[in-house]
Amino acid sequence: MILELLFFCQVKVAISFITYDSGLSKAFDQYTGSGFYCQNGFTKTATTTFSGAFENIPQVFFTSEKYDLYGNSMEYQLSITSITQTSFNMYIKCGFQKMTTIYIRWFAIDDQRVEVLNNFNMNDPVDKTFSIKNPNAQTAFIVLTSIYYTGPIDFLLSITQITTNSVTVGITRVAGKIENLKQVGYQVVVGIEEAFINLGLQTSQTLYTSSVIPIQPQKWFVLALQGFDYPNLDGVRLNAVFTNTGTTLQYTWGKWGNLDTPNSHSQVWVSYIFTTSYLPLECFSLRTSRKFNPEISSIPTFYVEFASLNQIYTINGNYAYIVDKNVSPLKFIIQVKCQSDKKMLASFNKCNSCSGSLKTQSYNYQCSTQMNYVGFFPLFKQSFLQYNEIKILIEDSQLLIKQVTYNQKIEEQTLVNIEIQNQ
């Protein structure tokens, strides 16, 4: 008898995802043979493929490192139209006159400590406010992406305000010139403190030569154009030429022929790897109380109060509140109706680095007619100063308090979970 032994090898293939990428696209250049003849309504869509696959759809922002716009009136629209885990598409349209070249330096990142806000091709430019997700994203910069002008222009885009939930972009309005600015597009990039090193705004009437700039590890250098003081005497011609020694960089930014194009730009180092990690609050002190409440039938099942912040929740629903970074410790007052035929299970997050039963502090109460009202008075501490985004869910038989953290991914982690169950 012949016995055949079959061996099955189970191979686990580990997929390696990238979390950041960058490159230079010359897809919109007449001189590279790419079929780019941008004038009189010409349009083109270009696809850029990443060097690998992202696990999630990344955020993409870009700067323009070379311009060649003909004529004293010019319109072009430029936008990112789609992004996948492996590529993104850009679309350009030239309304009239002619563009021969625009080099696109692009940056892609899969990290929630940075957020990219798009405002492509805005007609009749005005100040604008955008909502942001991460309350700890308290720094930002802006990059011009498109323009339409019909005469002399003098404008500057800038960040005028940033709060825990919004960022505002302002545009200077010079009388007699703002009327000639028919359209601008831009991207706003917001991030946590570690995200950016902004070396400041540079304004030049002629060819700009930077100082020698030390290279920052694990950061991109971004030349962020923010505005023009354009006299309408010639076309717009700007070109960035970099000299990189490995430890320093220096660049020139300006014309390569004809007249100068006065402009303003910022020098920004942008992190693509972070060391800052945001953690949920930890309960380091908890006092409880049980009592008899004769008015039990007329009070809500759950009462939640942010002590000293004048925030109280008692009605079923979903709520959100951002706790200021200077509120520490954060104290909750939680009171729960506990009827005689019920039991109560309660847990509080106490140790982020622990696992299993050590991670939470738990309680199990058997309700009774003598003790029908339970109070919890937890104190929570933060690992470092940060704004804390809290979500509260109140249902008939459950209270759930979570914290949203923004790191490489967005996560919701439970701080308090109280359930009322039948005995």
Strand partners, 63: 105
Q: Between 294 and 408, whose confidence is greater?
A: 408
Task: Specify the length of the chain in residues.
Answer: 423
- Host H or E run for residue 351: none
Cα 148 from Cα 73, distance rounded (Å)? 8
Amino acid occupying residue 11 = V
Cα 48 from Cα 282, distance rounded (Å)? 44
Residues 25-38, mean pLDDT to the nearest whole number: 87
Q: Between 24 and 4, whose confidence is greater?
A: 24
pLDDT at 8 over 60: no
Cα 32 from Cα 394, distance rounded (Å)? 61
* Window from 82-86, 117-121, 339-343, 392-396 with minimum mean pLDDT: 339-343
Q: What are phi and psi of 264, to 5 degrees?
A: -130, 135
pLDDT tens for each residue of 374-410? 999 999 999 999 999 999 999 999 999 999 999 999 9
pLDDT at 12 over 80: no
Residues 156-171, mean pLDDT to the nearest whole number: 97
The pTM of this model reads: 0.91
pLDDT band at 282; cut points 50, 70, 90: very high
